Structure 1
């Protein structure tokens, strides 16, 4: 599934990367949430029966289009690929091998390479931290992870790459994405699945290129501070949920949320240089203010 909105050129590169898979056993559905001219005609000219193109009659927004894709998913496993990302030629083969080796998991995370807007490999502080500080994925072999340990690691720093992940379709349809969230809906989904006892399989094969560029939705919201306001609300909820589940390590990780605090703090100087004092205050508040602790005498779920 390819929820699409934005740059037609990057989207066409994403589609071509799917067409170039060495394993032909895939189907691609593109759900267009925009109005860019020429896009329906481009898909009509592809002539590949494995590709289905749909345009929403009205804009649904990021999360609304994600949920539309989930509704339309027809096969046992689903990828919600970013419309500016790239599958490397062996992606489908690597994920099928991972599922055959460790079947039944709700989520499969392959190896990922970060690239810039031109598709060139880049090293960023965020990706280095994901790989070296937070990731629980062992190097060199597949692993099945779950429970409080995985939840705590993801709340210390979310090291998953949502657009590269492969999901079991039945759990996607059962849980879905929370419509009120626009940036951290993936973390909310993963946390809910872990609380339900589902597991994640990691695979070391680097078979997906994740695009890092300033035009992305998450980059725009982070610069304004709105990303962190949404993150803060979700973390408070998850801390209470983990407390209720008897997962104290995960609850502490949600309340400390060190990685998001440091990220917000690092963006305060840019907001001040850009003469955006409201954004600077919002970023600083996220970095420096503790999350509220639940009242143990009431139900916080």
Structure 2
């Protein structure tokens, strides 16, 4: 029977981390192990874990701050079982999450990635509807009833047009994840880069329509803060232009074209432009405008 390694690279509010841990402990499927790697310095955290008294829960604090990518890489290095989840420190597993993963593995035992159904919540845990998530569901995400196996140029192109995955909710085959890991030079696009590398290696994704995970979206997240300043878009542009070249050389011209134009990323930047103008942050406005209206010629 598969034991799931659930890795929680922790940084941020203690209360949200505790809610994430409790959601793992209330899984209907009891065959799991949780490892929390603390990259912060909040007081009382180690004592809280000790008081849990559950041998399936492991906790350790980094001697020095490793940063987001570094802490994720450390978590991957600690994985011992065949299946792993890299859970967000502020997200929630619904009680049926591991049950859903086990049902998905019965459909595709060797699949590298599983994307289940996700509910988006706000900082208070209430259901949240945003333009970004609505667009993901209506335009970019495939329509699935049950399970659907995807891969190759079709999936890669679709994800470049609009990344509809919720990375913290995904379940991975451990050997596939360890083969690619996370890039040190990326912060906000590292999840997409990892998935793309696996697809280029011939791996596949299984999509389940069963909702079993709550993804928290709030203003304090790295992706939100870097988007507000426009800083994330310089990284996105750099990555997409790099991917365009790689995809072209790999024989995926549709993926290369989508990466060159990165339309969804440009449109996302435009939605943030009014807010940047209102705040009067000239650098933010400049970053966003450059990304939204920049030329694609450099990528050709």
TM-score by length of 2: 0.96
> How large is the Cα RMSD of the aligned pairs?
0.9
Distance 1:58 1:286 in 2: 35
Please give the alpha-carbon distance, in whole angstroms, between the structure 1 residues aligned to 2:247 and 2:269: 24
Find the partner of 1:172 among 174, 177, 200: 177
CA distance in 2, matches of 1:183, 1:61: 13
**Aligned residue among 14, 21, 24 for 1:15:** 21
Which deviates the most, 32-41 or 268-277? 268-277
Q: Distance in 1 between matches of 2:49 and 2:192?
A: 32
Q: For 1:40-59, list aligned pairs within 5 A.
A: 40-59=46-65
In the alignment, which residue of structure 1 is the partner of 2:229?
A: 224
Aligned residue number for residue 95 of structure 1 = 101
Q: Does 1:239 align with 2:244?
A: yes
Q: How does 1:1-301 map to 2 (within 5 A)?
A: 1-136=7-142, 138-294=143-299
**Kept after mapping to 2: 8 A contact 1:236/1:292:** no
Instruction: Indicate conservation of the 8 Å contact 1:33/1:59, yes or no.
Output: yes
Rounded Cα–Cα distance in structure 2 between residues aligned with 1:139 and 1:171: 24
Residues of 2 paired with 1:183 and 1:65: CA distance? Answer: 14
CA separation in 2, counterparts of 1:109 and 1:229?
28
Secondary structure of the structure 2 residue equivalent to 1:45: helix
Q: Distance in 2 between matches of 1:13 and 1:49?
A: 18
User: Which residues of structure 2 form unaligned runs of 5+?
Assistant: 1-6
Return the TM-score normalized by structure 1: 0.96
How far the C-alpha of 1:292 sits from its partner, in A, is 4.0
Distance in 2 between residues matched to 1:143 and 1:117, nearest whole Å = 31
Task: Indicate the SS of the match to 2:52.
Answer: coil
Structure 2: distance between partners of 1:237 and 1:22: 43
- In the TM superposition, residue 238 of structure 1 has moved relative to its aligned partner by 0.4
CA contact (8 A) 2:144 2:207 kept: no
Superposed CA deviations along residues 65-87 of structure 1, whole A, max 9, x for unmatched, are 01000111111011000000000
CA contact (8 A) 2:186 2:235 kept: yes
Structure 1: unaligned runs, 5 residues or longer:
296-301
Contact 2:69 2:182 in 1 (8 A): yes
